[in-house]
Each structure stands twice: as C-alpha cells, then as structure tokens.
Amino acid sequence: MPDAWVETASEHVVARHDDRDTRDAERLVGELEALCAHTAELLGVDPPGEIALVLHGTPLQLDLAQPMLPLVRAATHPAARRIVAGWPQPGAIHVLAPRVLRDRASHDGPDEREFLRLVPGALLVQSMVGAVNPKLRPRRALLRSRWAWLSWGAGQLIAGQTAYARGLIRRRLQGGDQAPFPPGLGDAPLLGGSVLDLLRREEGMAAVGRLLREPLPRTADEALRGAFGGRATVHSAGTWRAHLARLAEGAER
C-alpha cells in the first residue's frame, strides 16, 4: 500500500491512489463520471452519492485488499485470467492502476489493451447494477455460477469492453472445450458480455436495462427465455455460439 493516498474526485467518484497515478486518475474519474450517468439512465435510477475508486499499484496489493479475487481468478478459464483485474463492492471499486493495466497488456495488441483500460468502468457498472438488483450484488453474483454471467456481462457491455474482446474470445474458442450457455463461473468474466450484446442486437438496449433492473426469476433459463421474447434457450444457445464466432473474427465491430 502507498505510504499516503492521494485523492482525485469528481461529483460521484472519489479515486484514492499513489501520487504517481494522479494524471491517470484525473482522466479516469472523468470517464467514470460520464459512465455513471449513462448507467443510471439505463437502470432508471439516480446516480449513486459516491463511489470510491481504489487504484492499486501492484497485483499483490489488490489481492491482499480483496482476498476473494485470487479465488475468482483461479476459477476463471485460463484464456481470461489476465482480465480479472479488479473487484466491485457496493459503493466501491478496487482495481489495478491504469499504468499496471497497460503493462499487463503491453505485448498483446490494441484490442486487449483497450479491453483492460476499460476494466474500471466495467467494475463501476457491476457495482451500480448490484445496488439495483439484489441477486446481482457483486459478492453474491460473482461467486455463484447462476448469475455471474449477467453481472460480468453488464459491466462488459455497458462499459464498452465487448467491442474489444475479439482476440480473447478467439483464444477461448480455440481452447477445445465448449463454453456452456449461459456462460458458467469460469467463462463469465470474458463471455458474459457476448450474451447481453446478442440481446442488445436482437431486442434493443432497453431490453438489457429491463433484464438488469427487474426482479430475476428463479433460474437463468427463465430469465433468458423472457429476455429473448420467449425463444427456447436451446435455440438462443445456437444463435449465441454463431454470434461468438462472429465476434472472434471481428465481424460485429
């Protein structure tokens, strides 16, 4: 941990960070402020009073501050473990500092660098969605397979990560084993956004907002059938796999 935290604040976001991260923090809180307003509008709620953004200078600092994160990372498919770089809480986000995220992706090309740059925004969305929908509260959703895909997916889609997931998805599809639909706990950090991206394309962004804010049914199958206009989940699964293939090739950018 830094000897002394520095604070950089906007109306709804207060970043705590090392002084070497001040410039990044100033840019980041501005981006998150705009994302906060956009997410609140989609969910039909007022922006939160304050969200604390804690920027950690090393992966070890982050893991010590959020001891559940190493367990989630270990449960994640190897193709996606690099992108599990933060943890949302009600009213707070713990994440690697932007300079650390840049270093983590420095050899992998612009898409993955942009995907990782957007991690703080995705965590902000997860925190806000969890405040609206009790079943999607971060600790409850991200540690259970039933709704992990929806919590991770909300962050990916609304923060804009899905548009930069091409290479990561391609590596996952080349991994041999087929991902389930909806994605399980191991695939949710990467593939959750593709489910909501398909819903956005077929039913519109308003349908995504309804799925996130309205009370969820007992099972994911019921939620998916309702979201996709009553279509049987087995048929949605086939459509989703075709959509994944297009995303992997960059055809949906």
pTM above 0.85, yes or no: yes
Domain positions in the chain: 8-249
Residue type (1 letter), 36: C
Q: What is the CATH code for 8-249?
A: 1.10.390.10
How far is 65 from 122, CA to CA, in rounded Å?
19
Confidence of residue 2 (pLDDT cuts 50, 70, 90): low
Burial class (CB in 10 A: 0-12, 13-18, 19+), 39: buried
Q: What is the pLDDT of residues 205-214, one digit of tens each?
A: 999 999 999 9
Q: What is the mean pLDDT of the chain?
A: 93
Q: How many Å from the N-terminal Cα to the C-terminal Cα in the chain?
A: 39
Q: What is the pLDDT of residues 111-126, one digit of tens each?
A: 999 999 999 999 999 9
Confidence of residue 253 (pLDDT cuts 50, 70, 90): very low
How far is 153 from 73, CA to CA, in rounded Å?
16
Confidence of residue 252 (pLDDT cuts 50, 70, 90): low
Q: What is the pLDDT of residues 162-201, one digit of tens each?
A: 999 999 999 999 877 899 999 999 999 999 999 999 999 9
Backbone φ and ψ of 30, nearest 5°: -65, -45
